[in-house]
Each structure stands twice: as C-alpha cells, then as structure tokens.
Chain A
Amino acid sequence: GENVEQHPSTLSVQEGDSAVIKCTYSDSASNYFPWYKQELGKRPQLIIDIRSNVGEKKDQRIAVTLNKTAKHFSLHITETQPEDSAVYFCAASAGHTDKLIFGTGTRLQVFP
C-alpha cells in the first residue's frame, strides 16, 4: 500500500523567511496530493492541493511542487507570518474519493 514520509518533523523560522516541507510517496498510482494545516485543537484545513497532471501550483504565499518521477512533493510558504504556525500534513491518494494516506506532520513555528 501507499506510504508517505514527511520531513522535517519540526521547523522554526523567523517571520518573513520561507519554509519548505517535503514529502515522498511510494505508490506510483497516487495522483492527488493535498496539504492540510492543523492548528492546536482544531480540525485539519485544506490549504492547497495538486494533481499529477501539473508540476506546480501557487496560491498567494503558498506553493506546491510535484516531481512524479522522483515521487516527491513539497510545500513552500514564503514571507511567513506568526499565524502560519501550525502542524502541516501532506497526503497522497489514488484520487476520485480514495482514502488519504497522511505523512506524520511538520510542526512549523514562526517567530516574530
């Protein structure tokens, strides 16, 4: 079955710096890769996703890149702000409402 690995487990940055979180997946059939942000005690919230027919997607300060050959995808947050502090999860699925297989999460701390 699918296995998703996520690094780093914790990440601390100064406000205004960029943050990068990386994930690898094992199942070449996976074609949908969402990223969720989870604040303490809250539900996971989708922040961006990418499908395997594109290599990059951007939404304001957030971007995701996908390398299908290497089976890895990354989340890039630019101009970080303290409110970006949260746990970020990557996930992969075979698409069309298939189950999500999650990475173990990255705790991002943005210091003012």
Chain B
Amino acid sequence: GAGVSQSPSNKVTEKGKDVELRCDPISGHTALYWYRQSLGQGLEFLIYFQGNSAPDKSGLPSDRFSAERTGGSVSTLTIQRTQQEDSAVYLCASSLWTDTDTQYFGPGTRLTVL
C-alpha cells in the first residue's frame, strides 16, 4: 500500500516568510509525528498527534512553529517568519495505535531559508 507522503519535496523561501509543510500518513495510522533533521545531524522530535489532538508538543523550538491535524489524517506544519536556522529536512512519520510502535517515515521536505 501507499506509504507516508509529504509535500512539497523541496521548498526555498526568503527569511521572514511563512511556510506550510504537508504530511499524508499511511491510511489507518492514528499516530503522526514530525521530526526535523538538520544537515548531517540526527532527527529531532517536534510534535506528536494522536488523532487530531497533540498530547506532546515539547519539541517545537519556538512559538513560530505550529501544527495541526484534521480528520485524523493529513497534518500541516507551519513555520511563521522563517529564519535561516529553520533550514533543515522536515520528516513526518506515522504509526498504528496498537502495541506495535513502528514508525514509518515519509521522504521529507527539504526547507531552505535564504
């Protein structure tokens, strides 16, 4: 079946602009996660959704970052007033709400802030 998809695959924006990144999880997966991967670095947790609610937002680096999920499916990560340090690959993952913890990752969105 279809895996996790993300759009756009690449986004170049100017400092100060807002951007929206989209994630389509695997159908039926109720848990959705956003991570950020800076160049040559590991993956940094941003936010976790269970259904449409976000019980863990602890990784969001500032109030410029927000995310929502509607209909228990698609999620959007919004970064307002982008800064150069926001440049990174933003990865989305999803998993089933069962005892299985496996998270399946999307291909990521590469964000470049000029």
Contact = CB atoms under 8 A, between A and B. Distances in A.
A95 B48 CA distance: 13
A25 to B, nearest CB: 14
Contacts, number: 57
Interface stretch (A14-22, A42-50, A60-68, A73-81): A42-50
Given A97-B50, A103-B42, A46 B104 contact: yes
A102 B91 CA distance: 13
Interface stretch (B17-25, B64-72, B94-102): B94-102
Contacts of B106: 43
Q: Interface extent on A, as a size class? A: 20 to 34
B14 interface: no
B103 interface: yes
Interface of A: 1, 6, 32, 34, 36, 42-46, 49, 89, 91, 93, 95-105
